[in-house]
Amino acid sequence: MPKNLPYKDIVIVGSGASGGACAWRLSTSGASVVIIEQGPWFDKNNYPGDSNSWEIHSKNSFDFNPNVRKLEADYEILDKESDIHPLMYSAVGGSTHHWTAHTPRFHPSDFRVKTLDGVADDWPISYWDLEKYYDINDEMMGCSGINGDPANPPRSPRQMPPLPLGPDGERIAKAADKLGWHWWPSDSYQASEDYKGRVGWNNHGTFASKKKWQSIASTDHTYIKPAMKNGLEVRENCAVQEITVDNSGKLRGVVYVDNKGVQYFQEAGKVILACNGIGTPRLLLSSKSKAFPQGLANSSGLVGKNLMYHPYASVSGIFADKDINYSLGPLANIIIVQEFYETDVSRDFVRGYSFQMNRSHGPGHTSLGVGAGGKIVPWGKEHHNEFKRRFKKFLGLAVISEDLPELHNRVEIDENLKDKNGIPLPRIFYKTSKNTRNLLDHGIRSAEKLLKEAGCYETHVIPTLESAGWHLMGTAKMGEDPKNSVVNKNCETHDVENLYVIDGSVFTTSAAVNPTPTIQAVALMAADKILGV
Amino acid sequence: MDINNNDISNLFSFVDTVIPSIDEMPSASEVISKEDLVWILENNIKYIDPIKDFLSFVKKEPASRVVGGIQELNDDHRIEILNLMESVMPVQFNLFIEVIYLLYYSKENVHEIIGWNSDELSDENKMKPFDKTILEKVSKREPFWKQV
Ligand SMILES: Cc1cc2nc3c(=O)[nH]c(=O)nc-3n(C[C@H](O)[C@H](O)[C@H](O)COP(=O)(O)OP(=O)(O)OC[C@H]3O[C@@H](n4cnc5c(N)ncnc54)[C@H](O)[C@@H]3O)c2cc1C
């Protein structure tokens, strides 16, 4: 029998990008709020960035893939039937400990794809509903960037100047200018100057630099610590096993287990799920009861369905110039190109894509084929020559595609395989669609054109980056109709009053940019709805 | 970890075939040690099984059974074995290569020769601050986001 704990007004499960933001907003209300997080606090001094063995860690204990990393807090993801491998991190701050912090916003059109293009569904909210929350989030996370981007609506002044473009960024910018294509310095939650206790990093040093990691916003610092000053309680190393309801289907609270194996029942007025696009459907599907035999909040059958990732294609070019060092600065927060963002009826796909510029890697990664289409530098006599040809000499473009929702792309749970906390493992099914394939192929051709214009003499292509499952969306869709969605426009589930989902699971569609500012804006908006603001 | 000293010596005997010395570049055995191999295997479990597979593959090769065993193989034999393994066990082979490459490229003396300097304070690692004159052309473009 779990130990009963005194009542709390609000329990938030998960402390990543969404959980942190929502907790901070709620903590200002005087309500009793507790976060339950399966991972530990993470000490930013432990980033292995400055050690010589950095690249060894990044392929092992610091690998982005939990199935490779296998840390205490990680759960295995059964992903053999998925074209793309999901990535995430479990700690106070969640995946914002591993993210790149490239932070574009969705476009107004992204919320209206059914109206505009006759596909998927419109969101029940608009860009303008979220605008205020994007601004609050930029302020809290700290955004480096510059206003005036013609591809996006005007926005409030950025908190810090853009990160330097570097010689490689300037090269891409000039090439885009020559082609008459859009480009703009990326908005980034990496601090270009010291910001609210966070160290600024103006790209002095390689992308592996420990300082770079410390200059990136993670929600443990940006939101959770300030919220704790308002009374937020954080229970680390505690995994929620089940959300419980009474026989009539009324929410009761959560059952969780700590890292000593002690089980607790936390009664709560409201429960907010922020476990990401895989963790949240996993928990809902695991929480079966008499009232909800197919899993909680699942009367539509849509919990776990419509998984969207943003499939990426990677195109890199090798440059011959002698004195360039394309390994300075962050890996990706450099330039965004949105020339091909909207639907063009003359193409063989709907919706569109962005390019995000990437730069060279460290020597270990270069030797293992990063930047060269995954082709490992040959072993034996040819090794050194080929290594020299590539090292610090390539820069790349990642094509980020809009991923449309499809029912067969989904998260299920395997009742027979459980993690150490007794929670069923998630099993992922995902196939890249024809529309996405055509879209990525178009993106690859455009990227090659831009890189050639920039002067590269050889390109390497990865048509679908298998290791790019960093954006997890769609698995508890937001909508007006309870038959066709899991949560309403306030992020409350249609089926269970006072149960909310606030992470990327609620995305109706995915847009063609990194999702986290939008995830956080939705989480802040949901907090205001809960507070009746 | 189930891999003994002799296994490590067998493994180590292949490293220079993977990264030989050419011009100013040292061979793998000049910069990494058997202790490094033990360290990486002990700390990163994902390598253990592939390395065991690698070793049993090598042991089964007829050339390894001649006098002196694996450690006495000549370079031609090693190349032959590695080529064969690369084609029949690519997954394990690539992880074996990953171990050697990552160790080799984590060494300071290699960094010096190839010019990898992670010191933030050094001049070559400074980037010019963002200069907005580069926006001249693109910022003149009319806004083109779709109004809805
Ligand atoms: C390598 C990498 C690079 C990325 N780069 C970018 C980028 O540049 N830009 C961008 O916009 N996005 C990026 N992302 C994505 C971004 O990190 C996520 O979109 C964001 O963190 C999602 O926030 P979240 O709150 O939904 O989930 P997460 O941040 O993943 O947090 C979920 C939390 O819930 C906890 N949890 C899960 N289940 C339970 C349970 N049962 N009990 C208790 N706790 C639980 C987890 O431990 C975790 O801490 C990147 C991600 C990765 C992995």
Q: Are A92 and A42 in contact (CB under 8 A)?
A: yes
B32: Cα within 13 Å, side-chain hemisphere: 30
Q: Which of B24, B116, B140 to mutate to test the interface with A (most CBs of A within 10 A)?
A: B116
Instruction: Kindly give the confidence (pLDDT) of every residue in chain B, 148 residues in length, as a single tens digit, with 9 standing for 90 and above.
Output: 688 899 999 999 999 999 999 999 999 999 999 999 999 999 888 999 999 999 999 888 877 777 678 888 888 999 999 999 999 999 999 999 999 999 999 999 999 999 888 777 777 778 889 999 999 999 999 999 999 9
Low-confidence ranges of chain A (pLDDT < 50): none
Q: Is the pTM of this model over 0.90?
A: yes
Ligand 1 lined by A519 (C-beta under 6 Å)? yes
What are the structure tokens assigned to A497, written together? 């009053």
pLDDT at residue B67 in the model: 65
Whole-angstrom distance, CA of residue B82 vs CA of residue A378 = 12
Enumerate long-range contacts of B122-125, CB under 8 Å, 24 or more apart: B124/A325, B125/A204, B125/A205, B125/A206, B125/A328
DSSP state of B123: G
Whether residue A56 and residue B142 make contact (CB cut-off 8 A), yes or no, is no
Query: In the block, which residue shows the tokens 């298998």?
Result: A466
* Residue A146 CB neighbours (<10 A): 18
Whether residue A206 and residue B148 make contact (CB cut-off 8 A), yes or no, is no
The partner residues of B109 in beta bridges, in order of sequence, read: none
Report the atom number in ligand 1 closest to the C-alpha of A239: 42
pLDDT at residue A321 in the model: 80
Q: Are A52 and A58 in contact (CB under 8 A)?
A: no
Select from A92, A127, A123, A103 the least CA-distant residue to A19: A92
* 36-95 of B, contacting A, C-beta below 8 A: 40, 43-46, 79, 82, 94
What are the structure tokens assigned to A176, written together? 């885009």
φ and ψ of A487, to 5 deg: -120, 160
- Residue B60, in any domain of the structure: yes
Distance from CA of B146 to the nearest CA of A (A): 6
A344: Cα within 13 Å, side-chain hemisphere: 10
- Residue B28, in any domain of the structure: yes
Query: In the block, which residue shows the tokens 């079966």?
Result: A288
Q: Supply the range of the domain harboring residue B104.
A: 5-119
* Cα distances (angstroms) measured from residue B77 to each of A306, A377, B81: 53, 21, 6
φ and ψ of A354, to 5 deg: -115, 160
- Residue B89, in any domain of the structure: yes
Whether residue B105 and residue A364 make contact (CB cut-off 8 A), yes or no, is yes
Distance from CA of A493 to the nearest CA of B (A): 27
Whole-angstrom distance, CA of residue A437 vs CA of residue A419 = 34
Query: What amino acid is encoded at A235 in this protein?
Result: R
Q: Tens of pLDDT along A141-182?
A: 999 999 999 999 999 999 999 999 998 999 999 999 999 999
* 110-139 of A, contacting B, C-beta below 8 A: 111-112, 115-116, 126
Ligand 1 lined by A141 (C-beta under 6 Å)? no
Q: Are A317 and A395 in contact (CB under 8 A)?
A: yes
Helix (H, G, I), strand (E, B) or coil at B90: helix
Ligand 1 lined by A503 (C-beta under 6 Å)? yes
What are the structure tokens assigned to B130, written together? 């963002």
Whether residue B120 and residue A170 make contact (CB cut-off 8 A), yes or no, is no
Q: Are A503 and A274 in contact (CB under 8 A)?
A: yes
User: How far is CA A394 from its chain centroid?
Assistant: 25
What are the structure tokens assigned to A211, written together? 């300082």
Whole-angstrom distance, CA of residue A174 vs CA of residue B73 = 54
Q: Are A36 and A23 in contact (CB under 8 A)?
A: no
Helix (H, G, I), strand (E, B) or coil at A317: strand
- Residue B136, in any domain of the structure: no
- Residue B129, in any domain of the structure: no
pLDDT at residue B1 in the model: 67
Ligand 1 lined by A219 (C-beta under 6 Å)? no
- Between β-strands A335-337 and A499-501, what pairing exists: parallel, antiparallel or unpaired? unpaired
What are the structure tokens assigned to A528, written together? 């205001």
Query: What amino acid is encoded at B52 in this protein?
Result: K
Q: Are A312 and A464 in contact (CB under 8 A)?
A: yes
Angle in degrees, CA A215, A63, A366, rounded to 5: 85
Name the CA radius of gyration of chain A, rounded: 22
Query: A94 C-alpha vs ligand 1 centroid, how far in Å?
Result: 5
What are the structure tokens assigned to B113, written together? 């020769």
- The structural domain count of chain B equals 1
Q: Are A422 and A255 in contact (CB under 8 A)?
A: no
Contacts of B4 (CB under 8 A, 6+ apart): none
Q: Are A109 and A116 in contact (CB under 8 A)?
A: yes
- Residue B144, in any domain of the structure: no
- Residue B35, in any domain of the structure: yes
Report the atom number in ligand 1 closest to the C-alpha of A64: 1
pLDDT at residue B3 in the model: 84
- Residue B61, in any domain of the structure: yes
- List the domains of chain A with CATH numbers: 3-359+393-531 (3.50.50.60)
DSSP state of A48: G
Whole-angstrom distance, CA of residue A327 vs CA of residue A318 = 13
φ and ψ of B39, to 5 deg: -60, -50
